[in-house]
Structure 1
């Protein structure tokens, strides 16, 4: 994938659409308890350091899920739109929101220490604990 490939998606009801530049087709799987609660299982996310652009921004609600991050969703249908660091330096988007047939591959699993025992991905991926994830973002977030 070339640098800054544009991808787009829309919520279930069509009230919100997003465009975002992506550097890869790598999917990150987050097993943290908050993502499990938010999505009903692990979050399968595409990450970007580029901000997204919205159409229908008046239909976007944002929830501050921690001191360092927030989650956005459509206020009409509830579709999960993004997770982002509060400082705006990192974004994650549900892969299902952006999926238009791209050749996605699972590149890493994070918060592996919070993964429940009832499922397991067999992909050979990088696996990081919560502490290892926070160490990667040291300076970007105040944990």
Structure 2
């Protein structure tokens, strides 16, 4: 599927499963001014306009990438696992998307509440799952 920033300088060809993940952590809320919605790329996306992408390493494990021209939040790169999560709002063809998981629900800002009954995890639940050695 095609995804594109607001000004069109950055575009992506992304293979994903149409599952949208929502994060309510403090960093994502600061980044997105609310919950951050993303889809996970199944394979490395084909990116056009790399010269317009700026990367900000917000933690040891995550780079937040945005368009230098228009400021659109384009994707996050998860360093240890070499994975990409793409801003769900970049896809014009999103009618088959569905919210599959909400993370850090106990950190959700008090000024919004998603009415969706999708599965969710608190910060403690997410961190416990992430630290498992399967």
TM-score normalized with structure 1 length: 0.84
Residue of 88, 106, 110 corresponding to 1:117: 110
Q: Please name the residue that 2:11 is paired with.
A: 17
Give, in angstroms, the shift of residue 88 of structure 1: 4.6
Give, in angstroms, the shift of residue 138 of structure 1: 3.3
Q: Is the 8 A contact 1:51 1:88 kept in 2?
A: no
TM-score normalized with structure 2 length: 0.89
SS of 2:89's partner is helix
Between 130-139 and 71-80, the greater mean CA deviation after superposition: 130-139
Sort the Cα spacing of 1:101 and 1:85 in 2 relative to 1 into closer, same or farther, 3 A.
closer
Structure 1: state its 5+ residue gaps.
Answer: 1-6
Structure 2: state its 5+ residue gaps.
Answer: none
Give, in angstroms, the shift of residue 79 of structure 1: 0.7
Matching of residue 69 in structure 1 with residue 62 in structure 2:
yes
Sort the Cα spacing of 1:66 and 1:49 in 2 relative to 1 into closer, same or farther, 3 A.
farther
SS of 1:78's partner is coil
Matching of residue 87 in structure 1 with residue 75 in structure 2:
no
Give, in angstroms, the shift of residue 130 of structure 1: 1.9
Deviations 1:94-125 (A, max 9, x none): 11112324311111110111102221111111
SS of 2:37's partner is strand
Sort the Cα spacing of 1:68 and 1:101 in 2 relative to 1 into closer, same or farther, 3 A.
closer
Q: Please name the residue that 1:3 is paired with.
A: none
Aligned residues: 133
